[in-house]
Structure 1
Amino acid sequence: MRELNYIKIFIYLSIVTVVTVGLHYANAAWLDQRYFRFLIWNLFLGWIPFIFSYVAYVFSYVKWKGAIWLAIASGLLWLLFFPNSSYIVTDLVHLTARSSRYYGGNGLNFTYWYDLIVVLMFVWVGLLLGFLSMYQLQEVIYKRVGRMASWIFVLAGCALGSYGVLLGRVYRLNSWDALTNRSALIALMQESVSRPSLAFCMFFGVFILTIYATLYYLINTRTTRQSS
C-alpha cells in the first residue's frame, strides 16, 4: 500500500477548496443569487473527517503509550463525521428542485450549466476528502494489523457511511446528534429499518466503495509500475 505525502495533499485540497468556493461566489455574483451557499457549510463538514483521520494517522506514529488511545478516539470521531464527505453527492437533488428556473424558450439556459459545475465541484472535493481520510486510516490499519483487516475496515466504513448519508438526507439528522440527541437518533434508527432504506444503503455503499477502490487501484498500480 503506497504511503502518501499528506502535507502536500492538504495543500492541494486547500487550493481546490478555495477554487471551488471561488466558483460559487463568481456564479452567485454573475447570476445575483445565493441559493447554493449551503454547499460551503457542507464542504466544511466534509473537511472534518479528513482532519480526524490525519490526527489518528499522526498519533499512530507517536512513540507514547497513550497515543494509540488518542488515535482510536480520533478514528471513532472520523467514523461519526465520515458520511459528511459523501453526503454532498445528494445535494444534486437541488438542481432537480430548481428545474423550472432552468428552462426557457430554447430549452436549458446557461444558468443550469453554471449551477451544475458549481455543485459538481463541491461533490468532487467532498469525495476526495472522504477517499483520502479513509485511505489514511486504512494505511494505519494495514501497517499495524494487516491487509485483510484494512479492507474489512473499508467495507465497514462504506456501509456505515452510506447509512449515515441515509440518516442525514432522508431523516435530517446531523453527525453531532449522536452526542447531543441520542433519544431522537435511536428512534429514527429504528424507524429507518425498512426495505427502501436497505436498498438506499446498498446502492450508495456500492457507489462509495467503487470510487474508493478505483482511486486506490490507480494510486497503487502507479507505484507497482514505477518499482518494476
Structure 2
Amino acid sequence: MKFELIRWTSHILRVLSRNLDWMTWNLFLAFVPLLLSIWLFRSRQKRSPIWWAGFLAFLAFLPNAPYLLTDIIHLIHDIRANYSVWMITLILIPQYLLVILAGFEAYVISLINLGYYLHRHERGKFILWTELALHGLSAVGIYLGRFLRFNSWDFITQPDAVFTSVLDELVGKWPVVVMAVTFVVIAGLYWLMKQVTLGIILRRRLKATQPQSNHTDSPTA
C-alpha cells in the first residue's frame, strides 16, 4: 500500500512538472500587465515620460493574459498522450483550468484598474469603449503570438516586422475570422468574470465596513 502510494505520488508529480516550465513563464507574462496596471492606474502617478513608457509596455504585454486561453491546445495534446482517465480528470484538467483562470483574472483586474483610473479622471463614459478596444487589441496580439509566434517585446525590438505582418494578415479572410471569434470569446468571458470580481470586491468592502458586534452575556437577576 505504501509503495503504491509513493508510485502514484511520483507519477502525479511527473505529470504536473511536464507543463510547469511553460505554464510558469506564461503566467509570469500574464501578471506583467497586472503589476503595471497597479503602478499606472492605482498609485496616482503623474503622466510623465516614464508613465507613458509604462503604459506602452502595458499595452504590449496585455494580450499575454488572455493568451492563456489558447493554451488549451496543449491539453488536447496531453489527453492524447495515453494518460489514464483519472489522471486527465483529476490532475491535468484542474491544472489547466487553474492556470487559465489565473491568467484571465489578471486581464480582468488590469482592465478594472484602468476603468478606475478613467473614472477618477472623469472619463467614465469611455470605459466600455476602452475595454472593447483592448479586447480587439488582445485578439490581434493573441493571433500574432499563437500563429505568427511574435512576442510582446517584438513590438519594441522589431516594430516594422510586426506592423507589416498585421497588415498582411488583415487582408486574409481566415485571420480576420480567427481574430473576430477571439474578440467575442474575450469580451464574453471578460464581462462574466468582471461581474464576479466586482461582486467579490463589493462584498469584501461591505464586510469590512460593517461594525463588529460585541456579544456580551446579560447578567441574570
TM-score by length of 2: 0.77
- The structure whose Rg is larger is 2
Q: Distance in 2 between matches of 1:220 and 1:42?
A: 25
The correspondence for 1:44, drawn from 28, 39, 44, is: 28
Q: Distance in 2 between matches of 1:28 and 1:184?
A: 45
- SS for the counterpart of 2:47 is helix
Question: How large is the RMSD of aligned CA atoms in angstroms?
Answer: 2.6
- SS for the counterpart of 1:151 is helix
Q: Distance in 2 between matches of 1:119 and 1:27?
A: 19
1:183 aligns with 2:163: no
Q: Percent identity?
A: 21
- SS for the counterpart of 1:101 is coil
1:116 aligns with 2:100: no
- Residue of structure 2 in register with 1:82 after alignment: 62
TM-score by length of 1: 0.74
Corresponding letter in the other structure for 1:92: I
- SS for the counterpart of 2:19 is helix
The superposition leaves residues 134-165 of structure 1 with CA deviations (integer Å, 9 ceiling, x where unpaired) of: 11011101221422212111110111011101
Does the CA contact (< 8 Å) of 1:158 and 1:208 recur in 2?
Answer: yes
- Residue of structure 1 in register with 2:47 after alignment: 68
Q: Distance in 2 between matches of 1:209 and 1:81?
A: 18
Gaps of 5+ in 2: 1-7, 207-221
Compared CA separation, residues 48 and 112, structure 1 to 2 (3 A)? same
The correspondence for 1:172, drawn from 143, 149, 153, is: 149
- Residue of structure 1 in register with 2:176 after alignment: 198
Deviation at 1:195, TM superposition (A): 1.6
1:217 aligns with 2:195: yes
Q: How many residues align?
A: 192
Gaps of 5+ in 1: 1-25
The superposition leaves residues 33-53 of structure 1 with CA deviations (integer Å, 9 ceiling, x where unpaired) of: 443121110000001000111
